[in-house]
Structure 1
Amino acid sequence: MNTKTLGYSTMIVSAALMGCVGLFARNINTSGDVIAFTRMTVGALCIFALMLHQGKFHLIKSTKLSPTVVLSGACLGLCLAAYVSATQYTTLANAVFLIYTGPVFSTVLAAIFLKERISPLTGGLLTAVFIGCLFIIGIISYDPNNGITMSLSFSKETFVGDMLGLASGFGYGLYLFFSRYRTDVSSDSRSFFNFVSGAVAIGICFMIKPPSLAEMDTSSWIWLLAMGFFIGFGALTLLTIAAKHLKAAELACVSYLETVVGAGIGIMMFGESLTMLQTLGGILVIGGGMGEIVISMAKKHQSIKNAQLDS
């Protein structure tokens, strides 16, 4: 499997799993920072055990830590804490959209500081998925009387959740940006240090505001541990692999698939509605994300074919 195929495959699965965050979070009776801390801690333990089993512990010992390695993990942990909290205080669609302002932010940073070129085609696809998110969130809406309207307003009922969503988007953008540095570090080691750095960052927050587990029951603990494994160890490890093999703009296009998963769960599990324009937004998200994959794979296939003809 070539690096692009590996990157796209892992990113698709990671985005699908990440889209289930709201489903898990709404079944756990504790704060978002506790949930995120559990995800990072379970992820660290699982990846450590896996590397130990595969005889790769030397990769952890030989990794030279740098500020970007530590910062990427810390930003990931803090953005997930804010995101999980956002899903508990606002709609799933709002929370998902606001965290996905991050990939746009990271794409701009990568273009400026890492000189990653954004092709017109990739830029167009990224624009399409971003507009799709605006449809899903309802910022661009339609009604027979006023036609298509565009507005961004925060109600008092969802203000806290929306602000946490914005904070999660900022943190996610920084995580994706910092992940583009030190691609020499193996995916296994990078995942381990991401998990550890994220857990430490959230742990520092606990020192400022101690968490409460008073309302946790048996069902909450089961959901929490399952989330730690599937959406902690599983989704975040795959995301780390994808970030190593894809450019920031490519990551951004595919990552928006999570918005469709999150909105779909909101409709099916929590009775949240979806208008025709929001459905169109989902189509744009899927089309833009898959378009980037299909075009990239077609170019790869054509280059291989041309190389075979030349030889």
Structure 2
Amino acid sequence: MDTSKNTIDSKKIIYSFCVIAAGILWGTMSIFVRSLSFLGFSSRQIMLMRSLLASGILAAVIALKNPALFKIHLRDIWIFIGSGILSMAFFSVCYFSTIIECGASVAVVLLYTSPVFVLILSAIFFKEKITFLKAAALVITFAGCVFVAGIFGSGTSVSPKGFFVGLLSGLGYGLYSIFGRVALKKYEPLTVTFYSLLFASVAMIPLSSPVELAGAMSVRSFLFFLGTAVFCTLLPFLLYTFGLSGLEAGRAAIFATVEPLVGTLIGIFLWKESAGFFKLLGIAMIFAAIILASLPERKSGN
């Protein structure tokens, strides 16, 4: 019995579970965002507070656990500029702009073009193979997202500007897997997550009317912001970053597409949104794609 192979397989399962758990937590975002939006906060202000509070909490954890994790080399700053500003902050701004321009359903589908970018960039920079299983899972995932978003048969029109900015949101979202993979070669997941959130916070400050934000803060809104920071930001990014340390970036990106599935289920059961045939079909397709992506590739010559 090959125990080393069993150990590797069990680790892969743990890494995969962490990425899927991250997607599930990201999918609960509407619970907090809808409440904060009702209280008068903009999407950019929510993004600023979630990253600011999450980085603050993580800084306290690192300080208590192992302050040495704060240490990074100046020559590696570009990695965290990439994961924090070019990914977290950039994709958020593009995503929110697409929601305004085209609506939420179109925005979420364009956002989840990210696995396409991840697979292509991973093949270029990490020499990851675009296998049949990955390609098939990718196609099924994207089709599932289209059905979940309710675009099919709705006659929705997309402006060229909205489509382009939406694709940029997918690129920005996918870049976290790329920069994160590079950072994890040198740093622990806690370090990578902390500096990514910190740089994202710095980038969002001039875009979020911080004075107005501070003036509108209350105990109730702060608790909602705290929930967003912990459950929709800190925990999922830590889980995703840890999972990314043991998975190919392309496969991790496919696993994370459980997010729109969870968001849709919350919309159906919590917000009483409609659940038609195509939406349920899309949910089933995303589940199937995740299972397909988790299957081991057949090795040639055996």
Superposed CA deviations along residues 134-165 of structure 1, whole A, max 9, x for unmatched, are: 211233349xxxxxxxx65138xxx98x8875
> Aligned partner of 2:147: which letter?
F
Alpha-carbon distance between aligned partners in 2 of 1:111 and 1:290, rounded to the nearest angstrom: 22
Residue 32 of structure 1 aligns to which amino acid in structure 2?
S
What is the count of residue pairs matched by the alignment? Answer: 284
Q: Post-superposition shift, 1:261?
A: 0.6
Q: Secondary structure at the match of 2:157?
A: coil
CA–CA distance in structure 1, aligned partners of residues 211 and 169 of structure 2: 19
- Is 1:39 the counterpart of 2:50? The answer is yes
Q: Counterpart in 2 of 1:73?
A: 84
The one-letter code sitting in structure 2 at the alignment partner of 1:290 is I
Query: Which AA in structure 2 matches 1:232?
Result: T
State the TM-score, normalized to the length of structure 2: 0.81
State the distance in 1 between where 2:211 and 2:270 align. 28
Q: Which residue of 2 aligns with 1:96?
A: 108
Q: Partner letter of residue 78 of structure 1? A: F
For 1:163 and 1:212, locate their aligned partners in 2 and report how far apart those are by CA, in whole Å: 31
* Backbone CA RMSD of aligned residues: 3.1
Pair 1:105–1:62, CA change in 2 (3 A): closer
Q: Which residue number in structure 2 is paired with residue 135 of structure 1?
A: 147
Map of 1:176 onto structure 2: 177
Q: Which amino acid aligns with 1:260?
A: L
Contact 2:183 2:192 in 1 (8 A): no
Name 1:308's counterpart in structure 2: none
- The match for 1:121 among 120, 124, 133 is 133
Q: Is the 8 A contact 1:72 1:175 kept in 2?
A: yes
Shift of 1:84: 5.9
What displacement does 1:219 show?
3.1
Q: Are residues 176 and 62 of structure 1, via their aligned partners in 2, closer, same or farther at CA, if it must alter by over 3 Å? A: closer
Which residue number in structure 2 is paired with residue 12 of structure 1? 20
> Is the CA contact (8 Å cut-off) linking 1:135 and 1:141 kept in structure 2?
no
1:275: Cα distance to partner?
1.6
Alpha-carbon separation, structure 2, partners of 1:236 and 1:274: 29
Bigger Cα displacement from structure 2, 95-104 vs 245-254: 95-104
Hey, what's the Cα distance between the residues in 1 that align with 2:137 and 2:253? 10
Give 1:145-294 correspondences, 5 Å limit.
Answer: 153-154=157-158, 166-184=167-185, 185-206=187-208, 212-213=212-213, 216-293=217-294
Which residues of structure 1 form unaligned runs of 5+?
143-150, 300-311
Distance of 1:269 and 1:90 partners within structure 2: 24
Q: Please report how far the alpha carbon of residue 215 of structure 1 lies from its aligned counterpart in structure 2 after TM superposition.
A: 5.1
Asked if residue 21 in structure 1 is aligned to residue 29 in structure 2, the reply is yes
CA contact under 8 A between 1:98 and 1:165: conserved in structure 2? yes
Q: Which digits, 9 at most, give the CA deviation of each residue in 1:102-141, with x for residues without a partner?
A: 2222221221233211211121112111111121123334
Q: Distance in 2 between matches of 1:237 and 1:95?
A: 25
Q: Contact (CA 8 Å) 1:22, 1:87: kept in 2 or not?
A: no
Paired residue type of 2:136: G
Q: Return 245-254 or 192-201, whichever deviates more.
A: 245-254
2:3 paired residue number: none
Structure 2 counterpart of 1:31, one-letter code = S
Unaligned runs of 5+ in 2: 1-6
Partner of 1:48: 59
